[in-house]
Structure 1
Amino acid sequence: MIEWAIAASVAVVAASGLYLASSRDLISIAVGLALLGSAVNLFAFAAGRLEQAAPPLLAAGAAAPPGLVANPVPQALVLTAIVIGFAFACFAIALALALAAHDERADADALELAEPPARANGDPGELP
C-alpha cells in the first residue's frame, strides 16, 4: 500500500515541478527545478526498498541479524543529493531575485542581455 502512496507522491511532485519549470517567471522556474530534484530524490529513496529492515550498523562483536538488513547506499545518495539540490535551489533563486531586482521583472523572455549581439546584416548573432 505504501508503494502506491510513494509513487503517487513522486508523480505529483514531478508534475508540479514540470508545470513550474515551464513557466516564464524565473523564480517559478527555479522552484520548479527544485521540485523536480525532490521528485528524483523521492524516487531514488523509494527504489532502495520500502520495508522494515534491521539497521545496517552493528555493535562491536555482534553478529549480523537474520533477515533483511537495510541498504545504506540509497539513503546516503539521497542525503547527498538533498544537500546539493538545496544549494542549487538557493543559488538559482538568489540569481532570479537579483535579475528581477536589476530589470524590475523576473521574466525569462526579457533576458535580452543574455543573447549574443546581432550581426551587421541583421541576422541573429551566435556565441563563439
Structure 2
Amino acid sequence: MEVLVATAVGVLTAGGIYLVLRQHTFPVILGLALLSYAVNVFLFATGRLAFNLPPIYSDGAVSYTDPLPQALVLTAIVISFGMTAVVVMIALSAYLSAKDDRIDMTPDAGDGA
C-alpha cells in the first residue's frame, strides 16, 4: 500500500512540475493543482496508512490513526480550492486583456533593456 501511495505522489509531483514549466497559463494552473494534490496525498499518508482503526485512542483500541494529518489535508483542500479560483480569475482577466494566454518571458524590444 505504501509503495502505491508513494508512486502516486511521485507521478502527481512529476506531472505538476511538467505542467508548471509550460508556456501557457491553463497548463500552469493545472500543474499547480496537481502539486497541491500531491502534497495532500503526502500529508494524508503521514498519518499511517491503516484500515479499520479509530482516529482517536480509546480503551478497547489496540492502535489508532493520527487525526492531525486528516485535519491538515481538509484545511489544505479548502485553501487550494480558493487559491485555484483566484489564479483562474487572474489568468482569465489577463487572457481577456491580452487576447493570448501565452506566458512570454522575453523582454520587449522597445524596453531598451
Classify the TM-score, shorter chain: 0.7 to 0.9
1:36 alignment counterpart: 35
1:4 alignment counterpart: 3
Aligned with residue 89 of structure 1, among 84, 91, 108: 84
Deviations 1:81-116 (A, max 9, x none): 01101111111112111111111111111797xx9x
Larger-gyration structure (1/2): 1
- What is the RMSD of the two structures over their aligned residues, measured on CA atoms? 2.2
**Aligned letter for 1:75?**
Q
1:60 alignment counterpart: none
Structure 1 runs (4+) deviating above 6 angstroms are: none
Identity of aligned residues (%): 36
CA contact (8 A) 1:27 1:97 kept: no
Gaps of 5+ in 2: none
Deviations 1:15-64 (A, max 9, x none): 1111110001012111111111110111111111101212328xxxxx52
Whole-angstrom CA distance in 2 between matches of 1:111 and 1:99? 17
If the length of structure 2 is used for normalisation, what is the TM-score? 0.86
Aligned length: 111
Aligned with residue 67 of structure 1, among 62, 67, 74: 62
2:108 corresponds to 1:109: no
Whole-angstrom CA distance in 2 between matches of 1:88 and 1:111? 27
If the length of structure 1 is used for normalisation, what is the TM-score? 0.77
Gaps of 5+ in 1: 58-62
